[in-house]
Amino acid sequence: MSFNKQSTSANAAMDRMIFWPAVIVVTVVTITMILFEERAKFIIDATFNWLTRDFGFLYQWFGLAALGLCLWLGFGPYRHVRLGGPAARPEFNRASWIAMFFCSGIGTSLIYWSAIEWTYYYSAPPFWIEPQSQMAAEYAAMYGMFHWGPIGWAIYLLCAFPIGYAYYNRGSSGLRLSSGCEGVIGKARSDGTVGRIIDIMMILGLVGGTGTSLASGTPLLSEAIAFNLGITRTENLDLVVVLIWSAIFVGSVSLGLKRGIKVLSDLNLIAIFALCSLIFVFGPTVFMLSTFTNSMGLMASEFLRMSLYTDTIGKSGFPQDWTIFYWSWWVAYGPYMGIFIARISRGRTFRELTIGVLSGGSLGCALFFTVFGNWGVYLQLEGIFPIIEVISEKGEASAVVGLLTQLPVQWLVMPLFIFLAFVYSATTVDSSAYSIATVASQRSEGREPSLVNRVFWAVSLGLIAVVLMRLGGLAPLKTASVIVGLPLLFIMSLSIVSLLKLLRAENAAEKVLKERPRTEPLV
């Protein structure tokens, strides 16, 4: 069947040189994992260990450099550069701008990880701290905020500068990672094979990153549904959840309900605040705020040490299992988020981008860790709800659901949570599938990718998550991001070098503050 025939004149035709290689890689990997499950588990473990141990330091320097670069771009000589030229004005107000990048870059997995991440740190702490000690608890309450903090958001933001600048200020042909590299590889190569390879890498990264997200978010949702229906969670229920997500997507694109998803995202934000407020009010409010304060101090004083902690000598595996895994997960999403942030940031200066994304993103995540994480710490330490024991007996997902049962207004909490978990991941699947389909289409601005293209990716993302969950445990879901992240480290670096070249060239011509807006003819 020719997929191209499916696209109507209103849709952008598929770019076969991007679509097919990406499809083949994804299909071969998925089918191999299904067919050789036992062997796959072994290979996954070995790959995870090898990549995080031998290449981990690269991720750590990359993370720190990303933060340094974003700060330099936001506060250095180029801080006044405005995407779209000096006359451009922002399309979205600041609040919805923050809400948009926060919702698209973060999904249900934040609830999952913010609620249980600390338990791993508490039981097996970094820096050879005594497990389950007072020190372990302090580090445990803080470490999650570090992993979901400024370095992560800097990795997200990093690509937005080159991609946005190339597109809005230099007239590149599209919001793509390949266009962001134009300053180094040149326009012809960026539109040719080299550009296609770069874009395929971006697709594979997003597929891996979404795999990690859905494989952590799905069990949580299906556990909550099972709990409310009074049934036990099974693999089939997980499958049903994933299928419904894909169906929502298929429905929304074929019925033209894109607006519907937008409305859902807004409701999503309201539900987040409602749930967090409930926990905040009914939970140990002062403990949460004080522990947050303590964590901020600890994070500030340990920031560099944590950023470059490899534990090569002690070999605890802590930085490899956590920090390096996290940076690779952020990197896997990096180019996609770079494109997304660029798309919504026309009219904003580099400075606004840096301040907005780094502080808005980090504080948003810190809110979850303050509410869900510190609440869990409190319940455990006070002996009210032994979350660590529940995890080892019943698994992570039921521990999070169990945590929620500690709240008084159950009739409100559970539906709110299910709604939230559902929509939060639905919007992740939808926007990822949509972006992949856009990248896998021929460059024709303003035209939608074809229906088959979009649906194919939505279903594949769900399927990959199901396969990762079937393999079981944290290793497969973590490895999905670690593998795809590595090549992206180099491509993202290339895009930054490219930006610096373009900026320097403009600067040399003394035009840096007077870029031509995109609407003017480009020479």
Give the binding site for ligand NM2 (CB under 6 A): 106-107, 109-110, 152, 213, 329-330, 333
Least Å distance, CB 450 to ligand NM2, is 26
Question: Which candidate, 432, 437, 397, places its Cα nearest to that of 417?
Answer: 397
Least Å distance, CB 336 to ligand NM2, is 10
Least Å distance, CB 393 to ligand NM2, is 26
CA distance 424 to 104: 9
Tokens of 112: 């999952």
If the CB atoms of residues 167 and 327 are measured against ligand NM2, the closer one turns out to be 327
If the CB atoms of residues 168 and 329 are measured against ligand NM2, the closer one turns out to be 329
The one-letter amino acid code at 273 reads: F
Using CA atoms, how far residue 184 sits from 174, 179, 187, 341, 494, in Å, is 16, 10, 9, 22, 7
Least Å distance, CB 354 to ligand NM2, is 18
Least Å distance, CB 77 to ligand NM2, is 30
Least Å distance, CB 272 to ligand NM2, is 12
| Cβ atoms of residues 298 and 26 within 8 Å | no
If the CB atoms of residues 13 and 421 are measured against ligand NM2, the closer one turns out to be 421
CA distance 328 to 211: 13
DSSP-derived 3-state class of residue 512: coil
| Cβ atoms of residues 104 and 340 within 8 Å | yes
Angle at 16 between CA 10 and CA 20, to 5 degrees: 125
If the CB atoms of residues 172 and 323 are measured against ligand NM2, the closer one turns out to be 323
Burial 65-93 (b: 16+ CB within 10 A, else e): bbbebbeebbeeebbebbbbbeebebeee
Residue nearest to ligand NM2 (CB): 213
If the CB atoms of residues 19 and 424 are measured against ligand NM2, the closer one turns out to be 424
If the CB atoms of residues 309 and 326 are measured against ligand NM2, the closer one turns out to be 326
If the CB atoms of residues 11 and 222 are measured against ligand NM2, the closer one turns out to be 222
CA distance 271 to 118: 24
Least Å distance, CB 319 to ligand NM2, is 16
Partners of residue 57 on adjacent β-strands: none
